[in-house]
Structure 1
Amino acid sequence: MNLKISKVKQKLKNGEACFGTMLRILKSPQAVPMCASEGWDYVLLDTEHNDYDYETLGNFCALAKYEEMALFVRVPDKLYHQMAQMLDIGAEGLVLPQVKTREETERIIRSTKYAPLGKRGVSISSTVTLFRDYDIEIYTTWANEELMTVVQIESEEGMANLVDIVATPGVDAIMIGPADLSDDMGIPGQIHHPRMESAFREVIRQCDIYGVAPGIHLNNLDDVKKWRAEGMRFITYSYDTKFFKDASREALQSLRSFG
């Protein structure tokens, strides 16, 4: 069995769009093949705001190795042990919240890349290799090439330092966090505000210049249609609880209409 190649990275490098969704409360690893069966490019496990434990994360990551769909993890913070350990557990990429400066971005790359690109401590993951034996050089080269590094722009400071962040070697994609960015701008939740839309377009412009995939997390299909047309390519849509609530609401309205 070969080490898993990132189809998300391949598609983004080819200028294509990738669509994923976020998991917040689903704890059964069966969620991985369920999402893969519907054709998502990736799922994102959110450990920043939710209560996934390491055993659950490890089980999700192991099962994801048998699917083409990628499995990414959003870590709570940009701390070495949270980043490196999550990759050792088997995450195929990390989403890093609240990135504000080039210095933070460079520290992320040092923590997530092996030498010569970074300083990540070497430990061959049994989950990643599915207990197959690999030469260290083969494994570290694969990890540097295939694991995704996605940084989130969620503040005015991050926007002010956008060029420096996007230009940092090793960044694969940006994922705007509209809720936090609008809150930091003093216009909480107003993602259609002209200042927000201007920020979105600037992220797209700078990402295109530096060969980084521009992305965003959205919960409304009309918004996805608009920003996909304007150039967003790494798009995280909705999350598990919203899918369930929306489907339940629609079904219940239909059921009650029967009398």
Structure 2
Amino acid sequence: MTPSLDEILRNSVKEKLARDEVVASMMVRLVRGVEIARIAKSAGFDTFYIDMEHCSFSLETTSQICMAALEIGIPAFVRVPANTPEYISRVLDGGAVGVIAPHVRSAEQAAEVVRYARFAPQGDRSANGGLPHLQYRSFPTEQANLALNRQTMVILMMEAVEALYRVEEIAAVEGVDMLLVGTNDLTAEWGIPGQYDDPRVCAAYERTIAACRKHGKHVGIGGLASRPDLVEKFVRMGARFVSTGTDLSFLMGACTAKAKAVAALTR
């Protein structure tokens, strides 16, 4: 029996967020094989995202990983290197169930990302038959496009000081699902890179969470993998998506700990 569109396009991240549950994510920058999707799923992550902004992955590699994620039932997002239709629509066509747009600074830019990521009537993403999200099955275009709009997540990075001043109007943009605070870029722009205890960091989260609550959007935490205390604080304040770190940092951390443990045996 052919599964329904809703069964095929189930997005467990959206479901968890709708229940006000915390979503655990990891970032992929190093591992180019589809194995990383299974590793993320087996490790217990709710999702992962490929960071095309900061890695050399091709669209082909990115799509292969996203398609593997679809098959095992873990939603995969992609942070694009530029907020342009040739990146946004192509990573979505390739299997991503959400796009993360960096360096958004205004409501106008936010609306552009939505337009590129969603089919009409919410946007003007070009229709494309035979998507991996649909298991390459054929469905009426109107039904498929509306269902894909419901599945797809539009996540905007709040990593510019200018964006914080405009967070209220950015959060109000229809079609945006989440604002993900980029703590590292924010502190760098303030001239205090890595100084997460600066009161402006907490104020940025407070301002973003308040705006998102008002407009029915979700808030994500980025760049605080080294500060679980602050992650807990901002989750208690209302953030619900946690970017926990990169595959590279996890590998280096585990390797370093093992090497130190063996070295300690000879002392």
TM > 0.5 fold call:
yes
Q: Distance in 2 between matches of 1:125 and 1:191?
A: 45
Contact 2:130 2:138 in 1 (8 A): no
Contact 1:4 1:65 in 2 (8 A): no
Residue 134 of structure 1 is matched in structure 2 by 139
Contact 1:89 1:125 in 2 (8 A): no
39, 42, 45: which one aligns with 1:40: 45
Q: Distance in 2 between matches of 1:145 and 1:222?
A: 34
Q: Distance in 2 between matches of 1:173 and 1:13?
A: 12
Q: Distance in 1 between matches of 2:214 and 2:61?
A: 39
Residue 23 of structure 2 is matched in structure 1 by 18
Q: Distance in 2 between matches of 1:67 and 1:223?
A: 32
Residue 76 of structure 1 is matched in structure 2 by 81
Which stretch shows the higher mean deviation, 22-31 or 65-74? 65-74
Q: Distance in 2 between matches of 1:223 and 1:244?
A: 23
- Which ranges of 4 or more aligned residues in structure 1 deviate by more than 3 Å? none
Q: Distance in 2 between matches of 1:145 and 1:35?
A: 24
Residue 247 of structure 1 is matched in structure 2 by 254
Q: Secondary structure at the match of 2:146?
A: helix
Q: Distance in 1 between matches of 2:49 and 2:225?
A: 14
Q: Distance in 1 between matches of 2:175 and 2:220?
A: 16
Pairs within 5 Å for 1:142-153? 142-153=147-158
Q: Distance in 2 between matches of 1:61 and 1:188?
A: 32
Contact 1:62 1:130 in 2 (8 A): no
Q: Distance in 2 between matches of 1:235 and 1:98?
A: 18
Normalised by the length of structure 2, the TM-score is 0.93
**1:158: how far off?**
0.4
Pairs within 5 Å for 1:36-115? 36-115=41-120
Q: Secondary structure at the match of 1:226?
A: helix
258, 264, 267: which one aligns with 1:257: 264
Q: Distance in 1 between matches of 2:86 and 2:198?
A: 37
Which stretch shows the higher mean deviation, 145-154 or 50-59? 50-59
Normalised by the length of structure 1, the TM-score is 0.96
Q: Which amino acid aligns with 1:20?
A: S
Residue 3 of structure 1 is matched in structure 2 by 8
Q: Secondary structure at the match of 2:197?
A: coil
Q: Distance in 2 between matches of 1:62 and 1:49?
A: 21
**1:194: how far off?**
0.6
List runs of 5+ in structure 1 lacking aligned partners. none
103, 118, 121: which one aligns with 1:116: 121
Pairs within 5 Å for 1:206-225? 206-217=211-222, 218-220=224-226, 221-225=228-232
**1:191: how far off?**
1.7
List runs of 5+ in structure 2 lacking aligned partners. none
Q: How many residues align?
A: 259
